Copies of this chain bind each other. A is one copy, B any other.
Amino acid sequence: MNEIQDLLKELKQENGTKIVFVVADGLGGLPQEAGGKTELEEARTPHLDKLAKIGITGMSTPILPGITSGSGPGHLGIFGYDPMKYRIGRGVLEALGIDLKLKPGEVAARGNFCTIDEKGNIKDRRAGRISSKEGIRLVEKLRMIHIPGVEISLEPVRGHRFIAVFRGEDLGPAMNDTDPQKVGVPPLIPVGKDESSKRTAQFVTNFLTQAKKILNDQKQANMVTLRGFSSLCPIPSMTELYGLNACAIAYYPMYKGVARLIGMNIADFEGEWDKEASVLKKYWNDYSFFFLHFKGSDTTGEDGNFDKKVAQIELFDSQIGTIAEMNPDVLVITSDHSTPSLLSGHSWHPVPVVLVSHSCRPDDVESFGERSCSHGGLGHIKSKYLMSIALGHAGRLRKFGA
């Protein structure tokens, strides 16, 4: 916990109000040309703009100024968990995302099928983005691997992705990725940074050697890399800290993983963003907090496609009216980090935020964009304060001191 969370835990009170957080992943952007409009500024977003008019806006910094946030820490911050304190590895997040039941002491890693050439150098870090069906077939082959002293669980995710979990006596997660993050070089050898992680590294090396043999006859997916070795660390739930009964409405595994980690229930539904508003309606009476996640603004930003990101933001906007109609006591719309299409990746730029509540103080901002929200009444805040601000507006916090 951190200072603000200690306080929230102390001051929380139940009053039956409902809070909705809507996260457009990687929403923050940049103009294509100096001085131009960002993707969000370019997009036609009547519903978001309406909220900016009636609500209070501002800019939110996910980690610290200048620091680019991954999706995990970006979301933890939004939910009030200081991402500098709760450092959760990719392996754990993705394992939780596919509902793998991890226990403390188990080491999880994210796996990629990749293509290596005859010299053993990586040619394609994603094995030509093989299909999910092919991924499932190959994971099944790898399940043949048995190593005395360790139990290995493998689960396919999507396409070339899978999760590996290593269970055994005294295994540590402190080791490097084997994915070198570039082509033309061989996968890296895992090296443990402490005694228990050295034990894990030995098992992992053995696993990789056997995987290479088993995949030897494949054309594309003839090797694997592992990264984000990590173990579950204890983290208090949103119920314990804030007294909220929380539900996540998300369709990407990783975001379900973050949500599950902090004690949210995961709404079970088919479909993507277009279904989330109706899922919200369906579960409306069952929870006091909802987290809705939209992915399209991040993937199109990662692809460096300005126009497609604009279109995805307009798609995002199209559901905002329906969500707002549910009339939550507090509605917050923001993002976990910026993903400017100019940079084709996550960035350090702050993200816009709007909060709507009957008790929000109005500001002069009339549209939802990076430039406009930087003048907003919330000012420039760290994302870890969004939750306390929302709880305050929901009347869910008692007075501090007499």
Name A residues whose Cβ lies closer than 8 Å to a Cβ of B. 3-4, 7, 11, 30-31, 34-36, 38, 53-54, 59, 63-74, 83-84, 87-90, 93, 110, 228, 340, 342-343, 345-350, 358-359, 361-364, 370-371, 374-377, 379-381, 385, 387-393, 397-402
Contact = CB atoms under 8 A, between A and B. Distances in A.
Contact of A69 (B4, B53, B350, B401): B401
Given A35-B362, A359-B340, A361-B38, A399 B65 contact: no
A261 B170 CA distance: 44
A63 B389 CA distance: 12
A400 B70 contact: yes
Tally of this chain's copies: 2
A374 B377 contact: yes
Contact of A342 (B59, B359, B374): B359
Majority-rule SS of A interface residues:
loop
Given A72-B401, A346-B399, 13 more contacts: A4-B64, A30-B359, A34-B358, A64-B385, A68-B398, A68-B399, A68-B400, A69-B400, A70-B400, A72-B402, A110-B402, A342-B359, A350-B379
B7 A64 contact: yes
Contact of A363 (B65, B371, B376, B379): B371
Contact of A375 (B53, B59, B375, B387): B375
Contacts of A361: 30-31, 38, 349, 370-371
B31 A362 contact: yes
Contacts of A375: 364, 375
